[in-house]
Structure 1
Amino acid sequence: MNLSTRLGETAKKYFDKPAYIFQGNASTYAELDGAVTKFASGLEKLGIKKGDHIALVLGNTPHFVIGFYGALRIGATVIPINPIYTADEIGYIVNNGDVKAVIILDLLVPLFEKMNEHLPKVEHLILCETPQGADSGVNVSELSIYPKMKSFTEVVGSGDFSFVGPTMEDDDVAVILYTSGTTGKPKGAMLTHKNLYSNARDVAEYLKISEQDKVITTLPMFHVFCLTVALNAPLMNGGTLLIVPKFSPKEIFEIAKENTATVFAGVPTMYNFLLQYPEGKPEDLSPLRLCISGGAAMPVALLKGFEQKFNVLVSEGYGLSEASPVTCFNPLDRPRKPGSIGTNIVNVENMVIDENGEEVPVGQVGELIVRGPNVMKGYYKMPEESDATIRNGWLYTGDLAKMDEEGYFYIVDRKKDMIIVGGYNVYPREVEEVLYTHPDVVEAAVVGVPDLNQGEAVHCYVVKKDASLTEEDLIAFCREHLAKYKLPSKIEFINELPKNTTGKILRRSLKDLVTK
């Protein structure tokens, strides 16, 4: 079984039920499944075949849902990419991922025109129409990428309802998710059809997601948290997606009230904004039976404040791209423990080990490792990194955790130096690599610091060569090479970075400077 086949079965059972509602317009399961089939058929007519790689550079729209499932139905491997990434970031993933076709918003045409000569493997650009794109005034027929361009609508329209896709094996790679790498370059986590299907199925079972649920889908679909929890899991069991293109407290309250939403999934930052929104009324969220939080640890005070105001349970969980992503959730049939990431979900096992690989006693801190049908196949074209991360069937997360006597897990700290900004992962080395490319930067080090709105913020220390270099100059430079959420919130110039006797930069000392 795989996600595409399951969607077909769900469509037969709930054919006239809304699969999603987008900007007030509903689409039934029969309509969605038909569009998926026709899109897959249209891709085949473009020469796309099983095993080819297709990138989705899209936000939260029906195009993403149809494009994602359509690509899976033809047996292609999907590579979701954040549409706010810079040309450098998108170009690296597209080239490293051996992408043959890219599905993009028409608003991104100027960006891809700029990148065209650097994307020799891309044969097709499939444009998703938007009102803004139509009004942009760009004459696409004059662009160098014009011969590669096709309309999403045209691709769907060229397809046949009679299309039957190839047979997929459980171990075939369905998705490659690029995660920020400690070396400064993203790594592509290869998730198989079995990985994605099992995690969506098990999450749906654990959280009791059914055909009665209406799930607010405002987390970015290109992110694995949304992909599994707020997209694939509801569609498995006949639930309805309430697709929100961009998070805003005002719109969440309106959509929840108008559609009697039953499930909301978000990162702690979103919950903070909802709690602080002055016009947010508890009755607007009263239909919600469950709120799901992930991406970063939620402060206990925020969790309790949200639950008290809106009288709804918030279930915190844990996951990572390499695990499709969910490994833990606070259970619905037992007490929820604030500050905990919960217990093992169905079919997934978590364990805390010491440096020798032995399980530590209850209450002691060690590295969290995971195994189950959701664990990735490995990193794309990175066998050594794959072997270092997956050992004897266990995925080594790099996070420090502990377990209590009732089997609840707690994240204590991050073994890696990852910074989580609004639920997005930022690795210091990635930002440092950009800073080091500036001719007037001698040394640079990046640390995460607490931030009330985003959870953490990117804080940089720089030793400069030219005294005239300013903080504004460097932030502007970074803006050309990094996505917005990766940008430094603060750059401080110092004479020398603290180091140990081997020359290693002491990040803890830098963090201590921030708090002084």
Structure 2
Amino acid sequence: MNLASHLKKTAAENADKTVYYFLDKPTTYAEFDTAVTKFADGLSKLGIKKGDHIALLLGNSPHFVISLYGAMRLGATVIPINPIYTPEEIGYIINNGDVKAVISLDLLVPLAGKLGAMLPKVEHYIICETNPASPPDLSVHPKLKSFTEVLVSGKTDFQAADTDTDDVAVILYTSGTTGKPKGAMLTHKNLYSNASDISNYLKINDQDRVITTLPMFHVFSLTVVVNAPIISGATMLIIPRFSPKEIFRVSKKYQATVFAGVPTMYNFLYQYPEGDPKDFSTFRLCISGGASMPVALLKNFETKFNVLISEGYGLSEASPVTAFNPLDRPRKPGSIGTSIMNVKNKVVNELGEEVPIGQVGELVVQGPNVMKGYYKMPEETAAAIRDGWLYTGDLAKMDEDGYFFIVDRKKDMVIVGGFNVYPREVEEVLYEHPDIVEAAVIGAPHPEQGEVIKCFVVTNNTLLTEKQLIAYCKERLAKYKLPASIEFLEELPKNTTGKILRRALKDKVLNQQA
């Protein structure tokens, strides 16, 4: 069983059930399944075969889910790409990923001539019309095709490819904070098992209405608010891009039951002045992932909106979810919860030996969700997967109840005069201050101490000073953990999922010191 074949089963049992609303227009499971089959056939008519690679340069839309499931039904491999990446970043992924066809918004049309020379392996650019009343002229280049025409050309009697569970379904390129992005190869088994396990763990069912605003090209969204709802017969409420106003509107109109977001999204919703707690009254589950949520923000949000937020943990290489706060036991604020079913997490030292309860080490993961490896990178694969365990690069500890706590990224740890300082513990203190909206902590080079603590904050009080904030920290942190300096910004740099980019802040400091 894989996601595409399971969709056919779900559509047969729930033909008239709504699979998604997009711009307030409903689509049934039967209509979606038919579109997926026809698109798979349309791709095959273009010469796309089982095992070929297809890139998706798309935002949250029916185009994305039809392309994803159509490609999987054909047996092709999908490479989702953030459409706002630079041309150089997109070009690298398409060339490295040996992409044969690109499915994109019509913004790509003016670039068709240049792309032909830059990306010689690409045979087809399938263009999704954003404005049907004024479609782009696709005759400007022979490689341009219309998404609608590819879909219409397909037949409903197309026979799905005979795929193996270990065939690669999706290649997700990591953000590449250290060197070039690496393509994590996720098999049909990886994706199906994680969607099924997280659906069971979180009790997602056919009565749920799931807000899908996390970017679909990101693995958190792909599994938790796309594949898990579809595998469960639930309804997705697709929102093209994150907007607090739209989240509140859609939640109220469709009586949403599940919301998933990154901490920054929760912060924006909490700060939104027109946010009415009544609009979230039908939520039974709020999910946070992508980054650690400050405990102060979690408690403030829960108090204001009378909901519980369950934090979880995942990474692209694990499809992504490995741990979540359980729904049938007490939730622990600040924890990523316990291992989900069929997945094992443990904390190890540098020799790969499990450390005692409460001790910090590296989190490693094992399960059917762990990737096949990095595409065309055997050495990196061997370094990441050792003795059957995926090494995450995250520092964590486990308590006596089996709950895991992420301390920080291994590479983000700051060493001040020989002492280890985890940025998150300083950030937690800053978030407790009533005037702090956002905070990020990095290590800045220092000639004597090696590194010192540098903080970046966003405040809602223009009178707050660096001196006052450092004094506040002095009452709550050991001396070696104290900020050496605090810089006030209007906003912190973030990626498209809302995750704060510490790397960009480190580059800012290095440029200032140069």
Instruction: Give the shorter-chain TM-score range.
Output: 0.7 to 0.9
CA–CA distance in 2 between the matches of 1:166 and 1:227? Answer: 22
User: Separation in 2 of the partners of 1:46 and 1:451?
Assistant: 52
Q: Residue 437 of structure 2 corresponds to which residue in structure 1?
A: none
Name the aligned partner's letter for residue 56 of structure 1. L
1:427-506 mapped onto 2 (5 Å cutoff): 450-452=456-458, 488=504, 491=508
Number of residue pairs matched by the alignment? 441
Residue number among 318, 323, 327 corresponding to 1:328 in the alignment: 323
Specify the alignment match of 2:9 in structure 1: 9
Residue 138 of structure 2 contacts residue 146 of structure 2 at CA under 8 Å; is this kept in 1? no
Q: Deviations over 1:216-246 (max 9, x none)?
A: 0000000000000000000001000000001
Hey, what's the Cα distance between the residues in 2 that align with 1:494 and 1:83? 28
1:25 and 2:25 are equivalent in the alignment: yes
Which structure is higher in RCO with an 8 Å CA cutoff and minimum separation 6? 1
- Return closer, same or farther for 1:96/1:251 CA change in 2, 3 Å cut-off: same
Q: Does 1:220 align with 2:215?
A: yes
Partner of residue 141, structure 1? 139
Task: Give the structure 1 partner of residue 121 of structure 2.
Answer: 121
What is the CA-CA distance between 1:14 and the residue it aligns to? Answer: 0.7
For residues 45 and 291 of structure 2, the distance between their equivalents in structure 1, rounded to whole angstroms, comes to 43
Question: Within 5 Å, which residues of 2 pair with 1:78-477?
Answer: 78-131=78-131, 139-142=137-140, 146-417=141-412, 450-452=456-458
Pair 1:39-2:5 in alignment:
no
- CA deviations 1:392-433 (Å, max 9, x no partner) are 11000011100000000001111124999xxxxxxx9xxxxx
Q: Which runs of 4+ in 1 moved over 6 A?
A: 483-487, 493-497
The more displaced of 353-362 and 487-496 is 487-496
Secondary structure of residue in 1 paired with 2:358: coil
SS in structure 1 at match of 2:312: strand
Give the RMSD, CA atoms, in angstroms: 2.5
Deviation per CA, 1:371-412: give whole Å up to 9, x if none.
000000000000010011001110000111000000000011
Alignment deviations for residues 286-331 of structure 1 (CA, whole Å, 9 cap, x no partner):
0110000000000111101111111111000000000000001101
1:357 positional shift: 1.0
Separation (CA, whole Å) in 2 of partners of 1:53 and 1:297: 33
Task: Give 3-state SS (helix, strand or coil) of 1:332's partner.
Answer: coil
Say whether the 8 Å CA contact 2:10–2:233 is kept in structure 1.
yes
Alignment-mate amino acid for residue 194 of structure 2 = N
Per-residue deviation, 1:492:
5.0
Counterparts of 1:342 and 1:3 in 2: how far apart (Å)? 26
C-alpha distance 95-220 of structure 1, shift in aligned 2 (>3 A): same
User: Structure 2 CA distance, aligned partners of 1:246 and 1:494?
Assistant: 32
Given residue 7 of structure 1, which amino acid in structure 2 is its aligned partner? Answer: L
Is the Cα–Cα contact under 8 Å of residues 291 and 499 in structure 2 kept in the other structure?
Answer: no
Q: 1:87–1:111: 8 Å Cα contact kept in structure 2? A: no
1:125-166 CA distances to partner (integer Å, 9 max, x unpaired)? 0001102x8659x65433xxx100111110010000000121
Change (3 A) 1:292 1:81: same
Give CA deviations for 1:62-116 in whole Å, capped at 9, x if unaligned.
Answer: 0000000000000000000000011000000000000000000012323454332
Structure 1 residues 74 and 353, CA, compared in 2 at 3 Å: closer, same or farther?
A: same
Secondary structure, counterpart of 1:369 in structure 2? strand
Residue type at the aligned position of 2:103: I
Distance 1:12 1:484, change over 3 A: closer
Q: TM-score, normalised by structure 1?
A: 0.81
Aligned match of 1:50: 50
Q: What runs of 5+ residues in structure 1 fail to find an aligned partner?
A: 421-427, 429-444, 454-477, 498-516
3-state SS in 2 of match to 1:160: coil
SS at match of 1:174: strand
Instruction: Read off the aligned partner of 2:129 and give its amino acid letter.
Output: E
In 2: Cα distance, 1:112 partner to 1:3 partner:
33
Query: Given residue 100 of structure 1, which amino acid in structure 2 is its aligned partner?
Result: K
Aligned to 1:465: none
**Counterpart-to-counterpart distance in 2, 1:101 and 1:448:** 45
1:491 alignment partner, SS class: helix
Which residue identity does 1:347 align to in structure 2? N
CA separation in 2, counterparts of 1:85 and 1:141? 26
Paired residues of 1:190 and 1:378 also in contact (CA < 8 A): yes
Cα distance in 1 for partners of 2:458, 2:329 equals 31
The residue identity in structure 1 corresponding to 2:248 is F
Q: In the TM superposition, what is the alpha-carbon distance from 1:39 to its structure 2 partner?
A: 0.1
Between 304-313 and 488-497, the greater mean CA deviation after superposition? 488-497
Give the letter aligned to residue 212 of structure 1.
Q
1:373/1:450 Cα in 2 relative to 1: closer, same or farther (>3 Å)? farther
Checking the alignment, whether the CA contact within 8 Å between 2:128 and 2:147 is kept in structure 1 is yes
Does the C-alpha gap of structure 1 residues 276 and 233 become closer, same or farther in structure 2, counting only changes over 3 Å?
A: same
Q: 1:141 is matched by which residue type in structure 2? A: S
The structure-2 alpha-carbon separation of the partners of 1:109 and 1:488, relative to structure 1 and needing over 3 Å to count, comes to: farther
Paired AA for residue 36 in structure 2: V
2-structure distance, mates of 1:375, 1:198: 10
Q: Answer whether contact 1:84 1:484 (CA < 8 A) is retained.
A: no
Q: Percent identity?
A: 69
Q: Report SS of the residue matched to 1:258.
A: helix
Matches of 2:457 and 2:110, distance apart in 1: 34
Q: Give ranges in structure 2 of 5+ residues lacking alignment.
A: 414-422, 425-441, 443-450, 460-492
Distance, in Å, in 1 between the alignment partners of 2:458 and 2:327 is 29
Q: Distance in 1 between matches of 2:252 and 2:275?
A: 11
Return the alpha-carbon distance in structure 2 between the equivalents of residues 485 and 109 of structure 1: 32
* 1:449 Cα offset (Å): 5.4
Whole-Å separation in 2 of the counterparts to 1:194 and 1:358: 28
Tell me the distance in 2 between the aligned counterparts of 1:245 and 1:227: 14
Q: Which secondary structure does the structure 1 equivalent of 2:508 belong to? A: strand
Amino acid at match of 2:379: E
Matched position secondary structure for 2:222 = helix
Deviation string 1:247-304 (CA, Å, 9 cap, x unpaired) is: 0100000000000000000000000000111110010010110000000000111101
